[in-house]
């Protein structure tokens, strides 16, 4: 005699329990599927309160030696679910023309629409176009964006190269309060925004600290000792070293992360022999008081780096990423790798794409 199984009505789950479940989902795909079950589940998981999202890998297509673009039907790969997603980028309102290259994209993909920089969210179809920059004829190159340039009006940064070899250029960031661009002459790659200040740096160079609204230079913080020119190249060394210095805000502090890779010395070493050095900024408002202090672990934080920028997240169970690790994109192969800070080891991250970078989805 078979036992009768009582059918459960899942729509009767308490709203507070559904909300708790939704907040723990590591991927937006699962969040959208949960909302699609029924009206009760949809009301318990509002779009205005999505869970913390972990990044996808954005597929890039190589047009020439160092220029990458996207397609009208764009593919993304989720490490949390192991799924490949195809999302159309077509939209009636914006005519998305030239994809603007950068390193990490937060919610919105940047495009150059004739002379204006525009941002498009492939999930929500939201479109944001800030005012024209004064020197709009200079080609923008994305360096860093905040988490949501539409709803939060977080600062967006671009670097516009005139002559890389002579180090002549201009950079600009979008002031979310005044809704205008703040432009300044200069040339750099890595930067971050923290407590009303804009931090920018170049490899083995001081970190410059600006007031984000007035452009005033507040401080110049010397680089860590590992980035001194003598240590950087080595006495009498003929090897070509790949060195990158990233700035990222993690758990309320600024980190300067130095990536060291010996690209060529008689025989090129594999990317798996890379080493990362991590420094925390002890920031003081007083001039010449701030300094970089080396640290040797990340706790439960995870760092993500693209070609020129990065971001930090707190690890969660079943998120698809390991805590205390650095996930980075090799700038030559455009492949993802993971560096275990405590073990000092590098391993390749599974990805179905030939070329990719990080994309942080948002609703």
Per residue of the chain (363 residues), what is the pLDDT tens digit? 455 555 666 667 777 777 777 777 777 777 777 777 787 777 777 776 777 788 999 998 877 666 778 888 899 999 888 889 898 886 655 566 778 877 678 888 888 877 678 888 888 888 888 888 776 656 677 777 765 555 566 677 787 665 545 555 677 888 777 788 888 777 666 788 888 888 888 777 889 898 877 888 899 999 888 776 545 544 444 344 557 888 999 988 999 998 887 655 445 678 888 899 999 999 987 777 899 999 999 999 999 998 778 889 998 887 889 999 999 998 778 899 999 999 999 999 999 999 999 998 887
In this prediction, residue 7 carries a pLDDT of 62
In this prediction, residue 306 carries a pLDDT of 86
In this prediction, residue 234 carries a pLDDT of 46
CA distance 138 to 196: 26
Could you give the strand order of the β-sheet that contains 207-211, starting from the edge strand earlier in sequence? 190-194, 197-201, 207-211, 217-221
CA distance 57 to 24: 21
Residue 312's DSSP bridge partners are 303
Which pTM value belongs to this model? 0.85
Distances in Å between the alpha carbon of 177 and those of 118, 142, 163, 181, 275?
Answer: 18, 21, 31, 10, 40
In this prediction, residue 254 carries a pLDDT of 94
In this prediction, residue 235 carries a pLDDT of 42
Q: Max alpha carbon distance in the chain (Å)?
A: 86
CA distance 359 to 363: 13
In this prediction, residue 363 carries a pLDDT of 76
Listed in sequence order, the residues at least 6 apart from 311 whose beta carbon sits closer than 8 Å to its beta carbon are 104, 106, 248, 249, 303, 304, 360
In this prediction, residue 139 carries a pLDDT of 67
* Cβ-contact 311, 362 below 8 angstroms: no
For the record, the structure tokens of 261 come out as 């890779």
Reduced to 3 states (helix: H, G, I; strand: E, B; else coil), residue 23 is helix
Residue 111's DSSP bridge partners are 99, 118
CA distance 342 to 325: 8
State how far Cα 13 lies from the chain centre.
37
Sign (positive/negative) of CA torsion 316, 349, 101, 103? positive
Reduced to 3 states (helix: H, G, I; strand: E, B; else coil), residue 119 is strand
In this prediction, residue 221 carries a pLDDT of 92
Report which DSSP code applies to 6: P
Backbone angles phi, psi at 277, to 5 degrees: -110, 135
């Amino acid at each position: 005699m078979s036992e009768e199984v009582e059918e459960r009505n899942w729509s009767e789950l308490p709203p507070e329990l559904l909300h708790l479940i939704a907040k723990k989902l590591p991927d937006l795909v699962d969040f959208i599927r949960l909302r699609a079950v029924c009206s009760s589940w949809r009301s318990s998981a509002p779009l205005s309160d999505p869970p913390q999202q972990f990044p996808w890998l954005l597929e890039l297509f190589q047009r020439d030696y160092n220029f990458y673009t996207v397609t009208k039907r764009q593919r993304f790969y989720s490490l949390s679910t192991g799924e490949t997603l195809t999302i159309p980028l077509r939209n009636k309102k914006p005519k998305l023309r030239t994809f603007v290259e950068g390193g990490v994209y937060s919610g919105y993909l940047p495009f150059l629409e004739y002379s204006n920089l525009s941002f498009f969210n492939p999930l929500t179809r939201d479109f944001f176009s800030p005012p024209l920059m004064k020197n709009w004829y200079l080609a923008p190159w994305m360096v860093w964006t905040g988490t949501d340039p539409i709803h939060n009006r977080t600062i967006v940064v671009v670097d516009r190269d005139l002559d890389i070899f002579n180090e002549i250029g201009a950079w600009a960031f979008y002031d979310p309060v005044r809704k205008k661009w703040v432009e300044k002459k200069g040339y750099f790659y890595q930067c971050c925004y923290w407590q009303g200040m804009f931090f920018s740096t170049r490899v083995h160079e001081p970190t410059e600290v600006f007031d984000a609204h007035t452009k005033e230079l507040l401080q110049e913080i010397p680089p860590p000792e590992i980035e001194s020119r003598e240590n950087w190249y080595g006495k009498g060394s003929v090897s070509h070293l790949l060195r990158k210095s990233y700035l990222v805000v993690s758990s309320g502090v600024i980190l300067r992360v130095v990536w060291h890779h010996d690209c060529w010395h008689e025989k090129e070493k594999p990317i798996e022999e890379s080493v990362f050095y991590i420094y925390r900024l002890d920031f003081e408002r007083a001039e010449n008081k701030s300094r970089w202090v080396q640290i040797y672990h990340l706790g439960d934080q995870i760092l993500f780096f693209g070609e020129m920028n990065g971001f930090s997240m707190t690890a969660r169970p079943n998120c698809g990423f390991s805590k205390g690790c650095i996930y980075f994109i090799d700038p030559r192969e455009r492949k993802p790798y993971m560096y275990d800070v405590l073990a000092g080891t590098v391993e390749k991250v599974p990805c179905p794409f030939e070329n990719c970078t990080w994309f942080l989805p948002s609703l």
